[in-house]
Structure 1
């Protein structure tokens, strides 16, 4: 699963690095060390220019709501989609046939850049009370991770032509591999740069193999470290959430 992550990248800087068009507008993206579902998040898509659809597609950075809202969702009130199960994750092996995701698999795939993601390991403490220790997974060299995602455009059909689009996304997950199996049985699906062109291509379906569970080598550079329980509350947000705990501070739980 991937229900919380951290991202400190600046859209303007990332746009230069990726040679992408920054379409995040006035959303504003300050460093967020505790990204949670329904937050506005940064995504990478490849789309054609609306005014010049015959031109080649280009990389674009877009702000989206984390928690995909299917295009067919009804409105609970004007301009607001009805509440339902928060679709912040989608199983990569089932997304192509799931009603909420299948259209996005065909033509709306994205990348979700992040510094790393959190998972929790729970064990019984000495008093019988469950101990819940958060861990943070990130690249050992400190670089960005790019996870495979899907996105959607929702409009309140009752508002007709005046309806404003709501862009939303979900992060694909797959079976955990390698050392990550010690933390959780699922993990976000990483998308290596050599597969970006095929994954983001708006004109063709993605090769089915890109949705398969990767080999352990794909995550061999992922560093796993215990971090403070401050991250347990979404109200906490700051670089101290990523401080590494030593074995004594992590207490009962060990991944060895």
Structure 2
């Protein structure tokens, strides 16, 4: 569930929109544009933190780059400064995160938002793409707001350090919280990322208090009423493909490819 998503957010512009500090150090405005984000990729997140030099100061909203796939703090090092490779923890179930060893500390004090344009899910069905001769394939569907607005999903994050090699620095990583699918997305998959409306951001990002249990509950129907799935090209199935062509409706691509050559 939610193993791929699309984002066109620019960290600098996002910082302006959210009145936040851009801490990504991105040299290019398109550094994080990716229509096929996959686990272990660097992704944008939104957090609220205080300045290290003033622990009593006001908390500030910050845009940070993190590895998608949370690395628990107790993960061992494979070599100095490099965590042991394992299955990426790219999703955390909302109903279990508060008690799961890998996520429970993050639920208390390290929560984030993960901005995205939409996410992908797959259905096994006869192929819709031309030239497949009706063979069964994994057809990707793209779930996004019908009005094109950006979605902000609940996330958790962690700071991993190699205690035996503190000079190697730290590694930030995150996971996306998932919940039971509702509305149109439920036709495609039984799970979905947990969207958070703006009025819940302050409580969710609060670094000083655990998350209210209500924010980990399934979202209200009106929150996802505008999220609509559509079939998109099977090009999405390969992480090597990352361009905007991945968002074209399958029917539109078929019609375009069936036009006579001029």
State the TM-score, normalized to the length of structure 1.
0.93
Please give the alpha-carbon distance, in whole angstroms, between the structure 2 residues aligned to 1:144 and 1:247. 23
Please give the alpha-carbon distance, in whole angstroms, between the structure 1 residues aligned to 2:101 and 2:135. 40
Q: CA deviation at 1:217?
A: 1.8
For residue 121 of structure 1, the aligned residue among 123, 126, 134 is 123
Please give the alpha-carbon distance, in whole angstroms, between the structure 1 residues aligned to 2:27 and 2:55. 26
Q: CA deviation at 1:249?
A: 4.4
Q: CA deviation at 1:114?
A: 0.4
- Assess, with a 3 A threshold, how the Cα gap between structure 1 residues 105 and 27 changes in structure 2: closer, same or farther: farther
For residue 141 of structure 2, the aligned residue among 132, 135, 138 is 135
- Assess, with a 3 A threshold, how the Cα gap between structure 1 residues 27 and 95 changes in structure 2: closer, same or farther: farther
Answering whether residue 147 of structure 2 is matched by residue 145 of structure 1, we say: no
* Alignment partner, residue 60 of structure 2: 58
Q: CA deviation at 1:215?
A: 2.5
Q: CA deviation at 1:163?
A: 3.1
Q: Which runs of 5+ in 2 are unaligned?
A: 256-262
Q: CA deviation at 1:26?
A: 3.7
Measured on the aligned residues, the alpha-carbon RMSD in Å equals 1.8
Structure-to-structure mapping, 1:24-63, within 5 angstroms: 24-26=24-26, 28=28, 29-63=31-65
Please give the alpha-carbon distance, in whole angstroms, between the structure 2 residues aligned to 1:230 and 1:123. 16
* Alignment partner, residue 260 of structure 2: none
Q: Which moved more, 1:1-10 or 1:215-224?
A: 215-224
1:20-49 deviation line (CA, Å, top 9, x unaligned): 000001475242111000000000000001
Answering whether residue 21 of structure 2 is matched by residue 16 of structure 1, we say: no
- Assess, with a 3 A threshold, how the Cα gap between structure 1 residues 249 and 206 changes in structure 2: closer, same or farther: same
Answer yes or no: is the 8 Å Cα contact 1:71–1:152 preserved in 2.
Answer: yes
Point out 4+ residue stretches in structure 1 off by more than 6 angstroms: 125-128
Answer yes or no: is the 8 Å Cα contact 1:157–1:163 preserved in 2.
Answer: no
Answer yes or no: is the 8 Å Cα contact 2:80–2:168 preserved in 1.
Answer: no
* Alignment partner, residue 7 of structure 1: 7
Answer yes or no: is the 8 Å Cα contact 2:2–2:121 preserved in 1.
Answer: yes
For residue 214 of structure 1, the aligned residue among 214, 219, 225 is 219
* Alignment partner, residue 259 of structure 2: none
* Alignment partner, residue 193 of structure 1: 198
Please give the alpha-carbon distance, in whole angstroms, between the structure 2 residues aligned to 1:80 and 1:248. 43
1:185-228 deviation line (CA, Å, top 9, x unaligned): 00000011000000000011111010011122221011211111
Answer yes or no: is the 8 Å Cα contact 2:42–2:65 preserved in 1.
Answer: yes
Answer yes or no: is the 8 Å Cα contact 1:106–1:206 preserved in 2.
Answer: yes
Q: Which runs of 5+ in 1 are unaligned?
A: 251-256
* Alignment partner, residue 111 of structure 2: 109
Please give the alpha-carbon distance, in whole angstroms, between the structure 2 residues aligned to 1:238 and 1:124. 25
Q: CA deviation at 1:129?
A: 4.8
- Size of the aligned set, in residue pairs, is 249
Q: CA deviation at 1:66?
A: 0.2
